[in-house]
Structure formats: C-alpha cells, structure tokens
Amino acid sequence: MNKIIAACYRNGKLRRTKPFKKIAKDDSERMFKGCVNYCWRMLCFDFLTERPYSCMPVMADFDIPLDYKERREKVKELDELIKEHEATIPLSEQKGAIRWAKALGIL
C-alpha cells in the first residue's frame, strides 16, 4: 500500500477523523500531510456513510500547499492513486459510492 494511502488508515480501518488537523506553514512534511488529508477525505466520501462525510468534498484539495494550477495537477495524481486503491476494495464495501449511484439513478 502506498505511504499516503496507508496514512489514511489506522489498525486496518479508514480513520474516522482527519489525519492531520492542523498543518503548520513551516512543517517539513506539509506536502505529505496535505496529500494524506486530501486522499482521506475522498476515501471517506466513497466508503463511509456517516453524515459529515456524505456531502461532496469540494474543498478537500485546500490542504495541499500549492497554488491553484499546481494543486490541480497534484489532485489528478492523487485521484489516480485513490482509484488504484479503490479497485482493490469490493464494491459492497464502498458505501458512499453505492449511495451516490442510487441517488443518480445508476443503481
């Protein structure tokens, strides 16, 4: 498992809270932590059914410490990483994805 994706989990389960709540501007691991927070939020959207995570994570990328254009490129990379990880998990465990597929009339 990739280091960024692995940090989204604790004891084999997706964390219930944001991995890095506050990231200092002078933190040497700021980029890593921002990427972990982004991936965690996107995974929560797909896998968890609790209310705070069921809404579209439109601001999830704000933790990534880059300007807009660079952040969009980084998000594309991270989205590919997330897709690779999601492909290893049975669809029956992707509660959020099932919920949205039903809402959109796909299922």
**Four-residue CA torsion sign, 43, 46, 72, 68:** negative
Per DSSP (E only), the strands in the chain are: 9-10, 13-14
- Full pLDDT tens readout for the chain, 107 residues: 699 999 999 998 899 889 998 888 888 899 999 999 999 999 988 887 777 777 778 899 999 999 999 999 999 999 999 999 999 989 888 888 888 888 899 98
Q: Report pTM.
A: 0.88
- The angle subtended at Cα 38 by Cα 29 and Cα 32, nearest 5°, is 15
Task: Give the type of residue at 21.
Answer: K
* Residues forming beta bridges with residue 14, ordered by sequence position: 9
Domains of the chain by residue range:
3-103
Do the Cβ atoms of 18 and 40 come closer than 8 Å?
A: yes
